[in-house]
Amino acid sequence: MKTYIGIDLGGTNVRVAKITENGEVLAQVKGPSYGTEGPAKVMANLKAMVRELPGWKDCSGMGVGVPGPVNTAAGTMVLSTNLPGFAGYPFADELTKEFGMPAFLDNDANVAGLAEALVGAGKGLKTVFYVTISTGIGGVLVVNGETVSGKHGFGGEIANIIIDRNREKINYLNVGAVENEASGTAITRKGKAAFGDEIEHAGMVFEKAEAGDEKAVEIIEGMQKDLGQLFATIACVCDPDIFVIGGGMTKSADKFLPGVIAQYKAMSHTAVHDTPFVIAGLEEPGIIGAAMLPVSKGY
């Protein structure tokens, strides 16, 4: 069975693992990423960690998941807010030359979606759309086992999709961008506005709604409508075989997902009403998905 190297690189920590083509993690090394100290320090550390993996030379390829949009054709980061100095850096090329195996780079949400499409909840399906709902909202379209990133690496960047132009201006995103209205951060913000600083996280708003508090119910019903519209919009574009939902907010999925599905059906064509919504099942989608990048390319 073929094995691959998966790298989950963040601004603070990095994980490097040897993984089978079926998504089984055989060995893993963890440590600080030194993300703020520049490419030279980050890459030297990463290369040393790869060499700590037993049998790394037997691997057929490697993949790296990074925060932010990626030019997948060039193997470079387009923006590198959490990894200063990496925008345009020849990341994949350097790893290919260093280790003598094909190396690929993609956004961390994209690789998580790829993992679910190849060895997780979407395994065996042709068209999978993965949506992560956490502090923010992200997504990726996977078709025939490959992520569809587009020309500039922004394919699947659904956070800025407008669901209502009549909302308030929050940050750099569009007015009414779904991330500012239906993410965990958004629900927490709305909860604080309604109940004060007693609201520490989105889960507390869900608890109040479940207890019947009218203001909390209104917030959650708004979230359900906004997410329902998001999924209906996605369905208009790519009509996936399945929606796979990941991210921290899935811990409360029983409290909001049924309503999202109902709203999705209310705002989409009857032909797509049978599209299943499934919670992501992998425990380590980020690092597994990184290892799946060379798999998706046929290596």
Q: Where are the beta strands (DSSP E) in the chain?
A: 3-9, 13-20, 25-32, 62-66, 70-71, 76-77, 103-107, 127-133, 137-143, 146-147, 242-246, 277-279
In a domain, 62, yes or no: yes
First-last CA distance in the chain: 12
Q: Per-residue confidence at 149, pLDDT binned at 50, 70, 90?
A: confident
Residue type, 178: V
In a domain, 231, yes or no: yes
Q: Which residues span the domain enclosing 88?
A: 3-114+283-296
Same domain, 80 and 15: yes
Is residue 213 classed as helix, strand or coil in its secondary structure? coil
- Calpha distance 280→294 (Å, rounded): 21
pTM for the model stands at 0.93
Same domain, 169 and 264: yes
**Can you tell me which residue has the tokens 């998580």?**
112
Same domain, 68 and 198: no
Same domain, 271 and 150: yes
Same domain, 226 and 264: yes
Mean pLDDT of 226-235: 98
Does 279 have pLDDT greater than 90? yes
Could you write out the DSSP letters of every residue in 180-211? HHHSHHHHHHHHHHHH-TT--SHHHHHHHHHT
Same domain, 157 and 55: no
Mean pLDDT of 60-84: 92
Cβ pair 226, 163 in contact under 8 A: yes
Structure tokens given for 226:
């906004």
Same domain, 129 and 256: yes
| Bridge-based pairing state of the strands 13-20 and 25-32 | antiparallel
Structure tokens given for 97:
């030359």
In a domain, 34, yes or no: yes
In a domain, 66, yes or no: yes
Same domain, 138 and 263: yes
Does 17 have pLDDT greater than 90? yes
Q: Per-residue confidence at 24, pLDDT binned at 50, 70, 90?
A: very high
Q: How many domains does the chain have?
A: 2
Does 81 have pLDDT greater than 90? no
Mean pLDDT of 39-43: 97
Q: Residue 256's domain is classified under what CATH number?
A: 3.30.420.40
Same domain, 199 and 142: yes
Same domain, 83 and 179: no
In a domain, 221, yes or no: yes
Higher pLDDT, 149 or 113: 113
Higher pLDDT, 153 or 256: 256
Q: Per-residue confidence at 239, pLDDT binned at 50, 70, 90?
A: very high
C-alpha triplet 151, 76, 184: angle, nearest 5°: 80
Does 20 have pLDDT greater than 90? yes
Which residues, in sequence order, are CB contacts of 283 under 8 Å at separation 6+?
Answer: none
**Among residues 55, 51, 48, which one has the least CA distance to residue 32?**
48
Same domain, 239 and 134: yes
Does 34 have pLDDT greater than 90? yes
Computed over every residue of the chain, the mean pLDDT equals 96
In a domain, 96, yes or no: yes
Residues counted in the chain:
299
In a domain, 74, yes or no: yes
Same domain, 132 and 108: no
Could you write out the DSSP letters of every residue in 75-130? TEES--TTSTT-BT--HHHHHHHHHTS-EEEEEHHHHHHHHHHHHSTTTT-SEEEE
> Which pLDDT does position 154 carry in this prediction?
82
Mean pLDDT of 208-224: 97
Which residues, in sequence order, are CB contacts of 188 under 8 Å at separation 6+?
Answer: 199, 200, 201, 202, 205
In a domain, 119, yes or no: no
Give the rounded percent of residues in the chain with a pLDDT score beyond 90.
93
- Calpha distance 26→29 (Å, rounded): 11
Does 204 have pLDDT greater than 90? yes
